[in-house]
Structure formats: C-alpha cells, structure tokens
Amino acid sequence: MSISDETIDRAGLVGLAVLAVVLTIVVATWPAVPVDETRYLTVAWEMRAMGSWSLPTLNFEPYSHKPPLLFWLINASWSLFGVAVWPARLVGVAAMGMTLLLTHRLDRRLAPDSERGPAASALMLLGLPLFVALGFSIMFDMLLSATVVGAMLALWQAGRGGGPKSFIAYGFCTGIGLLAKGPVVLLFTLPAALLAWFWIETAERRGWYLRLGASLALGIAIALAWALRAAYLGGPDFAEMLFWKQSAGRIASSFAHARPFWFYGPILVLFLIPLLIWRPLWTGLRTIRHERNEARDFLLCWIGPPLFGLSLISGKQLHYLLPIMPALALLMTLGLRSATPRSTDKIPLLVLAGALLVGLIVIASAGGLLLPHNGANMSVISESSVPFLIATGLVALGAIASHLDWR
C-alpha cells in the first residue's frame, strides 16, 4: 500500500487549496475576540490614526508590551482591503501559510535523498487542530513561528556549506523575529546554533561561532533600528519597559500568565492529538533513535532547550509552543520515513480524529451555555462559531487522511 511522491505532492496542494477556501470563509465571518485581539487591533488602529509608525500606543499612551511588526502588517493589509477585522486576520493566515511553506522546504533539505512523502511535514502540521485554529488568530505567535522556521532553514543550510548567504538569512530572520515578538525568538533559534557540534558537517566547524556572532549582530541591528527610535520617542519609562521589563522581567517574574513548571506537558498532548496514538509514528521514532542521524539531532536541539526554557519562564500560554510545532512535525515525519505501515494503521487514527471533530462541535454548541460572557473572562470557544470549529476539524481530518498512506 503505497503512493507516489507526485500523488503526495498533489494531495498536499489539494489540501492547501481546501484550506484556503476554509480560511476565506472563517476569516470573513469570525469577529475579534476580547481581550487580546481587540487590544492589538486598537494599537494598530491608533498607529494608523496618529501616523505614529515607530511608537505603538494603546489609549494613546506608549505601548511597550509588544514590538511593531504585527501592527505594521495589519496596517498594510488595511491599506489593501480597508479597515476591518478580516483583513487583520489575514496576517495570521499568511503567517501560517509561510510557516507551512518553510517547513516543507526544510523537510526537503533535511532528507534530500528521500523518495517518500515530501509533503508530509506540512500535512502533519495541518493535522494538528490547535495549530490550524491558532493560525486564524490576530496574535504574534504564528508570525514568530514563520520567522523561527525561516531562521532554522537558514541555519541548517549554513551547517551544510551554505556559505555567507545562509548566515545572512539566519541573521535577517532573527531580526524580523525580534520585531515580531522580541528577544524570545532567540530562545527558539539560538540553542541549535550554539549546539551545532551535534549536527553540522565537520568542514563547517572552523569559524562557526564567529560567523554566527556576525549574523546575530545583523539581526540585533535590524531590531535596534526600530527600538532605539521608539525609546527616544517614548521617553525613559517606555525605554525601561521595552529593554528590560518586557524581556528579563517576564523571565524572572511574570506579571501575567504565571503557571507551574509542568504546564506544557499536558499542552503538548493537546497539540499532538490525535497523532499520539499512531503506531507507525512510535515505531519510526524508535528506529531513528538507534542510528546516527544529524537531522534528528538538529531537530532535538530545536525542540529540547526551548521547551525547557519555556518551562522555566514563569509566564506560560499554550500558543507559546507554536514555534516548536514545525520541529515536532519534522521529527515525526523523519520517524515515519523509517516505519513500515500496516493496512489497519489508519483505523484508530481516523476514529480518534473523527471523535475529536465531534467533540469540537459539542463544545462549541454548549459553549454559549457553559462559558462566561463577561469581559476579560470571555473564552475563545464561546466566541467561536460551530462552522469555525467544524472547518478547523475538517482541515485537520483531511490532512491526516492525506498522509495515512504516504509511504
């Protein structure tokens, strides 16, 4: 039971086309969700109204909590389509599309000689309902994810003889990531670069850290080009918040979203449902565990240190894990390429995926009765329509079905 690479590529393209239709429908109908989405829309609108492109404001006071890239992109979308919620939501959708594309490209670089499943990593991401759902959001994390995957693609190329242009690309993507969500981008992109001895080619080791330092300097310079101007316009208090409290302050003692060290364990399970029960996934991962595999080591350096670092940081949210989800999808794809499928493997996966879809519908239907509707306590589920959750579940179910026989 196997299908050709050409069929897989066609399946991936059809899946992306269906996703585009679903996204269009949902984006056009889903309202802004309090409190985060409405806050970010307000900041973007004030930036547009005041013509203050360097200094974000909220209620016309300097807003230091987040860098400006999301607000710039929302305004660019508004310039094309008019001021409304749906053009702003397109920014997250475009970031999700870019994340999928870059993940697919990195997949091809990690396994250039593989003849199996070239679209599997992108389909794997689309098979994670939470990943798809967060792609609709007006938030920073999918934008950050796209920059992280771009940086890691460049980093892998740099470790494989990519030359100066790969280091420049790594620095550029890191700089854009700093503008997307601040220094946290380094938590996702720097550990694998520092642990390069585990996965780079021997010929690339000489001068690695010198070239890495130069590329990081480029990224920091990109961010400082905005941050210094914003600090000058915002004044000393704004500068202190921007350069210290919103980075080191959050790490040491979060003033929001403080949660225990083990918080991300259950969240990872939630993200990876329903793939966690798939036999070929576990047999494949066990296979690559016992062999020398630089791609596996690269992905583990991408996943492990950031996950540990996020667990140490006091402030935790489920969407903070988004930038490592492409790495998990790539690792699972790497394992599946070493697995031997059975005809019965698809049954439990499709049953659980279908049950998950039914559960989403039930939750959405009951959300209006079970969940509070009072300002800051408004739940995303209570604001989500049944068609939205059905669409999200169908995309995930379709993606899973597309790569069941991908070998």
User: Can you tell me the distance from the alpha carbon of 255 to that of 253, in angstroms, rounded to the nearest whole number?
Assistant: 6
List, as one string, the DSSP characters of 59-91: TTEE--SS-SHHHHHHHHHHHHH-SSHHHHHHH
CB 188 within 8 A of CB 307: no
Give the per-residue pLDDT at 119. 58
Q: Which two tokens stand for residue 389?
A: 């959750």
Q: Which two tokens stand for residue 127?
A: 């098979």
DSSP secondary structure letter of residue 228 = H
Specify the amino acid at residue 3: I
User: Can you tell me the distance from the alpha carbon of 262 to that of 248, in angstroms, rounded to the nearest whole number?
Assistant: 21
CB 14 within 8 A of CB 403: no
Give the per-residue pLDDT at 398. 59
pLDDT in tens for each of the 407 residues of the chain?
344 444 445 555 665 666 666 667 767 777 888 888 999 999 999 999 998 899 999 998 999 888 999 999 999 999 999 999 999 999 998 999 899 899 989 998 987 766 555 457 777 787 777 788 788 888 899 999 999 999 999 999 999 988 999 999 999 999 999 999 999 999 999 999 999 999 998 888 899 999 999 999 999 999 999 999 999 998 888 888 887 766 555 555 554 566 788 888 888 877 777 667 677 777 777 777 777 789 999 999 999 999 999 988 877 888 899 999 999 989 888 887 776 666 666 666 666 666 666 666 665 555 544 444 444 333 444 444 555 566 566 566 555 555 555 44
Give the per-residue pLDDT at 236. 86
CB 42 within 8 A of CB 48: no
Give the per-residue pLDDT at 377. 37
Residue 168 exposed, middle or buried by CB count within 10 Å (0-12, 13-18, 19+): middle
Give the per-residue pLDDT at 373. 45
Residue 49 exposed, middle or buried by CB count within 10 Å (0-12, 13-18, 19+): exposed
Give the per-residue pLDDT at 44. 96
